[in-house]
Structures are given as C-alpha cells and as structure tokens.
Amino acid sequence: MADLDVDLCVIGGGSGGVRAARIAAGYGASVLIAEEYRMGGTCVIRGCVPKKLMVYASHVRHELDDAAGFGWTIPPATFDWSTLIANKDREIARLEAAYTFNAEKAGARIAKARAVFEDPHTLRLSTGETVKAKYVLIATGGAPNHGEPIPGIEHVISSNEVFHLPKFPKRILIQGGGYIALEFACIFAGLGADVTVVYRGDNILRGFDNDVRAHVRREMEKAGITILTGCIVTKVEKHGDAYTSHLSSGSSIASDQVMFAIGRHPNVKGLGLEKAGVALNPVNGGIAVNEFSQTSVPHIFAVGDVTQRINLTPVAIREGHAFADSIFGNKPIKVDHSNIPTAVFTQPEVGTVGLTETEALAQYTHIDIYKADFRSLKATLSGSESRVLMKLIVDASTDRVLGCHIVGPDAGELIQVIGIAVKMKATKADFDATMAVHPTAAEELVTMRTPSARHVRQAAE
C-alpha cells in the first residue's frame, strides 16, 4: 500500500472502531482502519463472544444435573476441552472474517499494521507506509493488568491466554473479584474444575448493588467455588505441571493453573500520543475526551475502552457511531452514558440497570426498595437449591424506578428489556399496571406490591 491521504484513519479494528469506520465510509469519507492483530477486537477475539460460548458449554453440566428430577436417565457424560476450544476458534475466525468483509463492503480499507503518530496528522504504519489523515479515531481498547509484580508472575495467565489453554485445568486459582474473574470461575466450575477465587476486597463485584453481591457469592459458594476475600496472591511457585500460590493471609493453594483478572488498562502505550499532543486523563489513565469523544487535539477522537469511561462493547459501538454521525454526517450527537444495562454471565447470571441502593440513598431523600428472593418453578422438580433475586429501587417522591437488579437464569436477556423501561423513566405504577406473564420468574418484577424497605434521608440543617 502506497503512502496515502484519507479523511479518517481509525486505529484499532474492534467494535467501536469498525462501527465508526463503516458509518463514516457510508457518508462518503475515505477511511483506513489500521489493525495490528485481528479484526474484531477484544470482544470478538478474546472477550465477550468466546467467553459466552464457554458459558454455554458450562451450562450443560447444570442441565444434566437437573435432568433426573424431570424423569430423564442420562448415562455419565464426558467433556472434551480440546473440542470446545477448536469449535470456539472456528466461530471466532468466522466472526473475524465477517468484521473484515463488512468494513470493506462499507468502503473502508484495512491495513494489517500498527499505526503510530509521527505528528498530529501523520501516522506511520509498521509496514513502512505513512498516512496523512484529516481526522484520527483512536479505538485501541484495553488490555489485562496483572498489578504490582510479584515473584512468579511469569507463571500467571490473563483472560487473553485462558481461551487457548492446551489442556483443561482440574484445579484453577483465579485472583480478582470483578465480572471477568467471576465469569471464568463459574465457567471452570461448571466444566468440572476445582475453583478458588482470591480477592483483596471484603466482597466480590465491587460497585454492584450489595444485595446482588451477597446473593452471587452465596450461589457461587453453594456451587462449590471457594471464595477467599481480604487477601491477595503474594507469590507463585511452579512445581512440574502444578503451581503453589502463597496468599497474604499466610495460607497457600495448589492448582494446575493460576489466572489473574484484577483489572484492565487502556492501550495507550507506544501510540506516539506525545507527538500528537493527545492528553491522558490523570484519574483513570485513559485518553481524555469530552462528550463528543474529542481529545485535547481537535481533529483526534477516541472511543471505547481506551478512554476508560465505561468498558462495554455496546458503549464503544454507540460512541463510534455518534462520532461518525457528528463529524461526517453533520449530526452532532452526545452519547448518554446514564442507565446503561449490563450483564455478568456468572452462574447465576446478573442483570442490572440504573442506580444501586447505596447510590440512590446518596442522591435521593425518599427511597423505596422492592425485593423478592425465591426458588424458581424449575427448581421444585430439579432439586436445585439455587435462588433468584429481583430488586427494584424506586424514588418514593416521584414513583420513578431508578434501578433494577436481577440475579437468576437469563438475567442478561431480562435486563435488556427492563433497561428500556428505566430509560423511559417508567414508574412503579407503570410496572404494577403491566400484566404478569405466568408462570415466569420475571413476573415478580410486576407483582411486588409491598416495599421491603423504606428510606428517608433527613436534610442537613
């Protein structure tokens, strides 16, 4: 590819970058996408999609366990890790090809190369070519962070490597209390591994509603997952094919694999941002942007995880689309980052939108809490002891539903729909006026009549 001038150079072929490129090209812009690894980015290649495929695989074990109560006699089942990984790899390759095809079909060009700033308008590709761009969009995403170096850190894998393990670990230690750590803990437990979770905080899922945190922990421990809080791994030793992890509590744990999922950092290193004059956010280390995703350099923009605003694929896609509409479609759009529904694909799943109880109490003077904790109808025959949690946070002064939190089967599917209602400022009366679908777990969302708690915060004198 010869040196060229373009209207837009997108650095990163992930969800946000590709969406921006496709929309910009649709407006007639000349667009180049520079992607040094694989098209699709974190979500498609080593994140949400392959992880969800593995979640499905681990669900099979639970279905087999439940089958006897419904009259099924099933011979002992066996699981083959290599088959799962091979099938997963085939699907990811298909999606990567689709991302490439759709970007090129829209009119964007793809350079399989790393792009680095030489000056605010010039980027040098790792292939040797240079690109002069009227606008630049940085969409390089994030990467796993192992934290402070410890002895034996070279033996620790991240969520990047977990998708390509050559063999299934019968015992795995996972450090971290966020959604990535817990999702993989449930995946490996469901596939038959002995799983230990180590987390420095007092409870898992920091930032989520406290009832959700407590419920998920109980359900995970019920499933046989060991959760150790208030400690960290201080040293990892390798002994043949096994590892010993030493904890700050003084204990040690043997395992066949050690994985850290303690956070992610924005991919800003080595991009030449200093040559372009692009400023970083001193608080979160991501690229600093305004409500239009514009950086400190007016013609350079950034979307997605590299900004460290809200690290979710749909958010990156929405930001990328809004950028292209604003710059190339002459339709200035600010992305609304409030009331974003999200899911955690633990077992059981978590679905959440809006404020937690703690957040609501800090922002409003009168809060009503509606909560239901119950065994599902399926559990009455399957014999499962798992329980479902449904919780609504309501502003008692206006009756508006401020938040909804669900823990149970298909919580991710449910919260997508509830997210619409919360976004539309639905009231508790709107929920109450909606006819229940029976028999479902979700009917609890429209049949909870009596608050489980009422909070009134006195105004400061």
- Tell me how far CA of residue 193 lies from CA of 178, 189, 255, 370, 399, in angstroms: 20, 5, 10, 37, 46
Nearest to residue 17, comparing CAs of 305, 280, 340? Answer: 305
Can you tell me the distance from the alpha carbon of 50 to that of 61, in angstroms, rounded to the nearest whole number? 18
Cβ atoms of 353 and 219 within 8 Å: the answer is: no
Local structure of 289: helix, strand or coil: coil
Can you tell me the distance from the alpha carbon of 401 to that of 167, in angstroms, rounded to the nearest whole number? 47
Can you tell me the distance from the alpha carbon of 340 to that of 355, in angstroms, rounded to the nearest whole number? 10
Can you tell me the distance from the alpha carbon of 411 to that of 414, in angstroms, rounded to the nearest whole number? 5
Q: What is the pLDDT of residue 30?
A: 97
DSSP-derived secondary structure letter, 218:
H
Q: What is the pLDDT of residue 461?
A: 44
Beta strands in 52-150 (DSSP E): 109-111, 115-119, 122-125, 130-138, 142-144
CB atoms within 10 A of CB 251: 11
Model's pTM, two decimal places? 0.94
Query: Average pLDDT by consecutive 10-residue portion of the chain (461 residues)?
Result: 81 96 97 94 91 96 94 95 97 95 95 95 94 96 90 95 96 97 98 97 97 98 97 96 96 97 93 95 94 96 95 96 97 95 97 98 97 95 94 98 97 97 98 97 96 84 44
CA 184 from chain center: how many Å?
12
Q: What is the pLDDT of residue 460?
A: 46
**262 phi and psi angles, rounded to 5 deg:** -110, 15
Can you tell me the distance from the alpha carbon of 138 to that of 9, in angstroms, rounded to the nearest whole number? 9
DSSP-derived pairing of the beta strands 401-407 and 388-395: antiparallel
Please report which residue ranges of 153-267 form alpha helices under DSSP H: 179-190, 210-222
Domains in the chain (CATH in brackets) are 4-144+265-328 (3.50.50.60), 153-262 (3.50.50.60), 342-453 (3.30.390.30)
Catalytic residue among 62, 246, 438, 455: 438
CA dihedral sign, ordered 374, 375, 376, 380: negative
Q: What is the pLDDT of residue 3?
A: 67
Cβ-proximal residues to 413 (8 Å cutoff; 6+ apart), any chain: 351
Q: What is the pLDDT of residue 459?
A: 60
Q: What is the pLDDT of residue 285?
A: 92
Can you tell me the distance from the alpha carbon of 397 to that of 341, in angstroms, rounded to the nearest whole number? 24
The tokens for 135 are: 């606008």
CB atoms within 10 A of CB 238: 12
62 annotated active-site: no
